[in-house]
Structures are given as structure tokens and as C-alpha cells.
Amino acid sequence: MKILIVEDDLKLMIIVKDYLESEGFEVLEAKSYEEAMSQYYTSKNISLILLDLMIEGKKNGFDICTEIKKISEIPIVMITANSNDKDQLMGYKLGIDEYIIKPFNPQILIAKIKSILTRVYGEDTFEIFGLLVDKKKQLISKGKEHINLTPKEYKLFLHLVENKNKIYSREQLLNIIWGYDYYGDTRTIDTHIKSLRKKLGIDGIKTKSKVGYYLEVKNEIKK
């Protein structure tokens, strides 16, 4: 899924972005009202906005929230060093979903974001590497285009996504996807991986020489 961060503290921006990307989110950045609104109108499929209250320029986070909530129900999480009740009440009045006070634990922030996304969009739909995956319908799309995968290709990709950064040998993938009673050649995996890379158009499916395959997501440790 795609998340827009509106934050003029570069250090905090980098920290939050790294945590989000480690969870497979695509991150867009803005540090002012103008940049935030430009990103919102020009970018497709933004799922959530992380919004600092005090940002560059004359307009603040409340102004952004007011404009966006006029035209969208996109969830907004407001992040601010300001802890007074008046601003918190104003945020909720404008329709924000969560008000988080700096400093905060990035892991708690991620947990709250995931909870909001699950409540708003459900557990069966998620976005990774710009691809929208609908587990219920077993569909993968990029923008308005549906990507046609075979059942085995879909199952293989979903397994790699759900176990990101974990390396699997060809034999393990054959057993998991095709079953233990399958006696085909392990090169079947190579063929399906090659097809996935071509159809999905992503570079996240990596090869570990003489070991196997994994889906690489930044800042997570391979197991």
C-alpha cells in the first residue's frame, strides 16, 4: 500500500520512511501544504496519510486535513509535538483517525497504521511494490491493469510476499506450492520465477546463489 508522509523534519522523515518500507509499504514524501496537495492529486492509490501538524509555509496540517476530507475519506494519522487537548479535539473534529504525539516509538506507529488499514480496507487487500493484491479474489493489478498469473504463479508470489526476505530452496518451494507428491524437476521453480519477474515488472524477487529465492524488502533481515 502507498502512504504519504507530510513532515518537514528530515531526520524523522527518514526514520519513519525506513520503518514503513521495511514493512513493504511504498512511501511518498512532502514537507509543505503545496507539496502534500500536489502528491495527493497526482499520485494514484494513496492508502493513508501521515500528517505533521506544523510544517513548512503558512498553512499547517489542519489545512491539509480540511482540504482532503472535503473530497475523500482517506485515513489520516496526525503526528505532532503539540499535546494540548484543543488541537487533539480539532484534529478529531476534522476527521483524523489517530493523533500521535512526538516523540513516539516507530514500531507503535506501524502497529497503529496496520490496524487502521485493516479496519478501512480489510485484511484481504494490500499493496506491495506498486502492486495491488486481492487475496479474496486472487487478483493482482497494477493501476487499472490486471496481471494474469497462472494459479501456481499466484500461489508462489503470495508465499514469497507473506514470507518476505526468507530464502527458500527450489525443493522447499516445490513442496510448498506443488506438494510433496510432485515429482517434477526443480527447474520448474526457475521457470515460474522468470515468468513472475516478467509479468509483475518488479525487481524484488531475488536469487541467492546456490541456495534459492526470496522477496527482498528493505531493512529486514533474511532468515
| pLDDT attached to residue 220 | 47
Each residue of 32-55: b (16+ CB within 10 Å) or e? bbebbbebbeeeeebbbbbbbbeb
Q: Are β-strands 131-134 and 125-128 bridged in parallel, bridged antiparallel, or unpaired?
A: antiparallel
What pLDDT does 215 receive? 94
Residue 103: asked if its preceding bond is cis (omega within 30°), the reply is yes
Instruction: State the 10-residue block means of pLDDT for the chain, 223 residues long.
Output: 89 92 88 92 85 88 90 88 86 90 90 88 77 84 86 93 91 87 80 95 91 81 39
